[in-house]
Every structure is written in C-alpha cells, then in structure tokens.
C-alpha cells in the first residue's frame, strides 16, 4: 500500500534572474522585475512529497523528524537569508529561477533520502507561482 506524506519548510533568499550571454534589453524583456540589478527577495516555500510503503513496525512512510532534518540541513540552512546568485555554491552558474532552485533542492534531498522512497519537490516562489520536480529527466 503506497502512501504519500508531505513536509513544508520555508526559507527567504535574494536573487537576480539574469543571463550573462544576453544584452540588458533581452534580460529586462525576459525577466522583468526579477532582473533588478540590485537584487530582491522571495519568501520561498518548499514542500517535499515522499511516497512509499507504510512501515509495519512504525506505521510511518518516513519518520518526519528525519525528513525535517534533511530538508533543513540540505536546503534551508544553505539557502536561507542568502543571495542565491552569489552565496550558494550549489547555485553557481545557474539562473536562480524557481525551476532551477527546485531541481537543485530535489538533488540535495534525494541524496540523503532512503532509496526505497519516491520524492517530489514543490517550490513556491510566490503564493501564485510554483513548480514541481520529481527527478524525471
């Protein structure tokens, strides 16, 4: 019997969406406000969706203490109150869109999660804009 469990965490971070291979005009036209040269921030919400069998010994799909610890140590502590363009090694040379942050976060969490469990990450950049990634390439 497969079951899904969810854990929500938050972090705040600054970024600028900017493609160094483009002119200022192209960047402005594509990225708009997120192209602001002096940076701006978002209150990100990250939700990990973990799917697996219920362990008959614990009644859990995954121990939420463990999932919480992985999300906090692998993502929140690395991204929170940072400039994603400048401060975060995992984001170097990556345009810090919600899509790309979500893929990086998925990989960081996946590396620490039991391989028997499926993982999907949903990332909200605003209340209205959000993305999902489940490892499919």
CB of 72 to Ni ion, least distance (A): 23
Question: Catalytic annotation on 132?
Answer: no
**Which residue in the block uniquely carries the two structure tokens 């009644």?**
59
Within 13 Å of residue 103, how many CA atoms lie on the same side as its CB? 9
Instruction: Answer yes or no: 53 catalytic.
Output: no
Q: Least distance in Å: CB of 47 to Ni ion?
A: 19
| Contact by Cβ (8 Å): 6, 47 | yes
Selecting among 15, 34, 74, 102, the annotated active-site residue is 34
Q: Least distance in Å: CB of 31 to Ni ion?
A: 8
Q: Residue 71 and residue 86: Cα distance in Å, rounded? A: 21
Catalytic pick among 49, 90, 125, 132: 125
Residue 41: CB minimum distance to Ni ion, A: 8
- Nearest residue by C-beta to Ni ion? 34
- Neighbouring residues of 92: CB distance < 8 A, sequence distance ≥ 6: none
Nearer to Ni ion, 97 or 107 (CB): 97
Burial of residue 2 (number of CB atoms within 10 Å: 0-12, 13-18, 19+): exposed
Q: Rg of the chain's alpha carbons, rounded to an integer?
A: 16
The residues binding Ni ion (CB under 5 A) are 34
Which residue, 34 or 46, has its beta carbon nearer to Ni ion? Answer: 34
Q: Does 76 qualify as catalytic in the annotation?
A: no
Which residues belong to the active site?
34, 81, 125
């Amino acid at each position: 019997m497969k079951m899904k469990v969810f854990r929500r965490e938050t972090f705040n971070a600054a970024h600028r969406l900017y493609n160094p291979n483009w002119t200022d005009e192209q960047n402005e036209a594509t990225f708009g406000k997120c192209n602001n040269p002096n940076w701006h921030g978002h209150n990100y919400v990250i939700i990990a969706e973990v799917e697996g069998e219920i362990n008959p010994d614990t009644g859990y799909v995954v121990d939420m203490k463990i999932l919480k610890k992985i999300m906090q140590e692998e993502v929140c502590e690395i991204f929170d109150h940072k400039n994603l363009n400048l401060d975060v090694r995992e984001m170097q040379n990556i345009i810090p869109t919600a899509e790309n942050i979500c893929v990086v976060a998925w990989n960081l969490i996946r590396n620490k999660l039991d391989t028997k469990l499926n993982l999907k990450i949903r990332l909200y950049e605003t209340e209205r804009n959000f993305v999902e990634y489940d490892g499919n390439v």
